[in-house]
């Protein structure tokens, strides 16, 4: 009874005078107001409120709340909201899964922007000794970042006698004093990462210096090092060596050298001071693996493995076949006079390269820290070069570096077309292309073709699919220097493209404040330098920056289809397009005499007028051109823009001319890329 009475009192107190109960009484001394007769609440049953007369109010006890919560007008909306929330959550989960499932793989850092190759001895001297160094590179990182570079590639800087100025390594774990210290390297690497850039370095596993500790122990037959190199018995009398076979060095003459200590001949593909390692020895494999791990642990983002085609030689030492079989064998001394079927790309070479990849993959598991692997196998055929991509399920290099443009010594639309098509048509499906225009061992662009072709070749580089690779100074149009007077026993022409970087028109082109430089600067450094070109709106440097920005900001170029349309002795034309975007870039490049190009003859469905997005010359600043007659000067290129209802790669007539590496489609409604097109 007391409990029933308490319930009735609770209901009665909450409805006094139909006034709102605020739940709490601020002053207990406040006199309680008597309810008006008309506002009294009738009690029915066992103290249950009359649901028709009682309204919900703040501070209701749970007993009253339960009376209302069960009513349909409160229960149904609540249940609707509950199930609606469940449905929305499930839809969001499903949408997230669907977006992930249909989204294409994001471009990795080595795909997303250009690489910039630096020959460290020639980039910037920080200590006035006339040699470029690691601190000098660090001092110029702001310049590199201003080029919109994503990856810095530094060629060999290991402790070395510098024979061939790249390859004679005495210690793979030490920095050559010319370039600085290990602390300098670590500071440079940290500074590169602080700017959001990546660093890859050269690694030459094929050979060492003859002053390397391994070779010193091998020639004395010390323990496991006895067979670290390739030794064979050979006749040696009165200072004359009769080699084991007719194999030749890349630099000419026999690739065998007699060693007075071991009384045997050792094999060297390059200079006698660069003996080849024996990669058929498991201990050599392990040593090289540990070197790779050493630099990965330092934090480098990848390697360019150089001279990989020379890693193995035929076991039986068979003589190689002469190109000219009628030539007297005793007069065969030049490398080009033999077919190198037994000294390059032997069975097992790709197993070694895959082992390098597996070692690097163990350091790629951390998100955002993928380690890049490139290979250099120059002078290989296109088919053999493609083998370094690996197999569909067994990866080797992310890409073998494509140096085929560096082998051209003349330009025409047909030649450029041939180089592009040979790579794109032979590249394995789903692999990523790359393009190089120069390098430490190649003649510079401006010296090969003339400075009028610098801009058009850089436009070609940035509008082709894949990763552009720029050798330092090519963004300015630097030229080779005249042959320096250096007393070495190899082809000094390889030094001509390694002249000091031209920063300004001060002494030594701003490369060094010392009294001399290790190589002379080019005679044109007063006008061809960074400081001058930064202030010229039509300079090669300014165009390079514009092209790199376009490459970074336009999905058509970074992810789109590439359709190689036409070529002749003068010009080449191709498009870049992407599903979901009706804008198309049409690139036309003229390498020959001035011409009037009728683009309507290509049957592309072009409008009468085309917008000029970017051009190589001041005359290209015109906003529109007539598609029926585009006037192009020698060395002039245009990136034209138009809208198309149907893209070329969707048309049967062009299907065999269009290529894509990583397919993606764009949704303008959602502003996302997806792969199910």
Q: Which amino acids are annotated catalytic?
A: 306, 376
Which two structure tokens, joined as six digits, stand for 381? 């055929």
* Residue owning tokens 């999905």: 555
Of 340, 348, 216, 345, the closest CA to residue 275 belongs to 216
Which residues share a beta bridge with 207?
A: 276
Which residues, in sequence order, are CB contacts of 247 under 8 Å at separation 6+?
Answer: 254, 255, 256, 267, 313, 317, 319, 320, 338, 342, 343
Give the integer Cα–Cα distance in Å for 261 and 258.
9
- Cβ(543)–Cβ(455) below 8 Å: yes
Of 306, 466, 285, the closest CA to residue 388 belongs to 306
Give the integer Cα–Cα distance in Å for 138 and 188.
5
From residue 348, give the alpha-carbon distance in Å to each of 314, 340, 428, 474.
10, 16, 21, 37
From residue 10, give the alpha-carbon distance in Å to each of 13, 46, 49, 661.
5, 14, 11, 77
Which helix (H) or strand (E) element contains residue 535?
none
DSSP label of 44: B
Give the integer Cα–Cα distance in Å for 554 and 567.
25
**Total length of the chain:** 677
* Residue owning tokens 């490049």: 589
How many of the other CB atoms lie within 10 Å of CB of 99?
A: 12
- Cβ(276)–Cβ(229) below 8 Å: yes
DSSP per-residue string spanning 254-302: BSEEEETTTTEEEE-SS-TTSPBB-TTSHHHHHHHHHHHHHHHHHT--E
From residue 467, give the alpha-carbon distance in Å to each of 106, 236, 462.
15, 51, 8
Give the integer Cα–Cα distance in Å for 576 and 560.
6
Give the integer Cα–Cα distance in Å for 481 and 498.
8
Of 117, 209, 219, the closest CA to residue 163 belongs to 209
Give the integer Cα–Cα distance in Å for 176 and 158.
5
DSSP label of 579: B
């Amino acid at each position: 009874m007391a409990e029933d009475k308490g319930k009735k009192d609770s209901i009665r107190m909450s409805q006094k005078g139909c006034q709102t109960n605020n739940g709490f009484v601020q002053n207990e001394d406040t006199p309680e107001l008597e309810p008006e007769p008309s506002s009294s609440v009738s009690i029915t049953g066992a103290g249950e409120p009359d649901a028709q007369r009682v309204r919900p109010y703040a501070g209701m006890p749970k007993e009253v709340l339960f009376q209302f919560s069960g009513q349909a007008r409160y229960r149904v909306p609540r249940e609707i909201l509950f199930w609606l929330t469940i449905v929305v959550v499930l839809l969001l989960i499903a949408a997230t899964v669907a977006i992930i499932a249909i989204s294409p793989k994001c471009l990795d850092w080595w795909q997303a922007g250009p690489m910039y190759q630096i020959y460290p001895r020639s980039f910037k001297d920080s200590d006035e000794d006339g040699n470029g160094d690691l601190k000098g590179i660090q001092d110029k990182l702001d310049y590199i970042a201003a080029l919109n570079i994503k990856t810095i590639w530094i060629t060999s800087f290991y402790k070395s006698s510098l024979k061939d100025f790249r390859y004679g390594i005495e210690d793979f774990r030490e920095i050559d004093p010319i370039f600085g210290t290990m602390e300098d390297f670590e500071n440079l690497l940290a500074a590169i990462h602080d700017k959001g850039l990546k660093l890859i370095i050269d690694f030459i596993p094929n050979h060492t210096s003859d002053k390397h500790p391994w070779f010193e122990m091998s020639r004395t037959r010390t323990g496991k090092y006895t067979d670290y190199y390739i030794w064979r018995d050979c006749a040696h009398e009165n200072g004359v060596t009769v080699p084991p076979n007719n194999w030749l060095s890349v630099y000419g003459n026999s690739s065998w050298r007699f060693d007075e200590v071991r009384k045997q001949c050792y094999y060297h593909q390059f200079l006698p001071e660069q003996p080849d390692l024996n990669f058929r020895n498991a201990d050599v494999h392990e040593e090289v693996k540990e070197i790779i791990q050493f630099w990965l642990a330092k934090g480098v983002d990848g390697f360019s493995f150089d001279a990989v085609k020379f890693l193995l030689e035929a076991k039986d030492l068979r003589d190689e076949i002469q190109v000219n079989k009628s030539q007297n064998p005793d007069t065969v001394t030049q490398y080009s006079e033999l077919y190198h079927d037994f000294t390059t790309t032997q069975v097992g070479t790709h197993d070694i390269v895959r082992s390098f990849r597996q070692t690097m993959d163990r350091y790629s598991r951390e998100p955002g820290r993928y380690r890049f692997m490139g290979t250099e196998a120059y002078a290989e055929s296109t088919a053999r070069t493609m083998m370094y991509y690996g197999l569909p399920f067994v990866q080797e290099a992310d890409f073998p570096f494509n140096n085929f443009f560096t082998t051209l010594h003349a330009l025409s639309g047909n030649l450029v077309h041939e180089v592009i098509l040979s790579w794109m048509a032979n590249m394995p499906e789903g692999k990523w292309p790359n393009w190089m225009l120069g390098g430490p061992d190649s003649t510079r662009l401006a010296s090969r073709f003339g400075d009028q072709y610098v801009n058009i070749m850089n436009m070609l580089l940035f509008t082709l699919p894949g990763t552009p690779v720029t050798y330092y100074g090519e963004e300015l149009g630097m030229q080779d220097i005249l042959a320096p007077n250096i007393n070495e026993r190899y082809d000094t022409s390889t030094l001509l493209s390694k002249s000091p970087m031209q920063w300004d028109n001060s002494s030594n082109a701003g490369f060094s404040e010392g009294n001399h430089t290790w190589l002379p600067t080019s005679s044109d450094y007063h006008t061809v330098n960074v400081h001058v070109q930064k202030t010229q709106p039509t300079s090669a440097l300014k165009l390079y920056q514009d092209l790199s920005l376009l490459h970074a900001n336009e999905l058509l170029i970074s992810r789109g289809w590439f359709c190689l349309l036409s070529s002749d002795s003068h010009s080449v034309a191709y498009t870049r397009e992407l599903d979901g975007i009706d804008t198309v870039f049409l690139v036309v490049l003229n390498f020959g005499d001035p011409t009037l190009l009728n683009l309507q003859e290509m049957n592309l469905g072009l409008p009468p007028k085309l917008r000029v997005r970017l051009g190589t010359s001041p005359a290209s600043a015109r906003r529109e051109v007539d598609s029926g007659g585009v006037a192009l000067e020698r060395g002039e290129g245009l990136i034209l823009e138009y809208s198309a209802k149907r893209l070329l790669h969707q048309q049967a007539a062009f299907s065999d001319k269009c290529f894509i590496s990583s397919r993606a489609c764009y949704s303008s409604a959602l502003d996302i890329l997806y792969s199910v097109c």
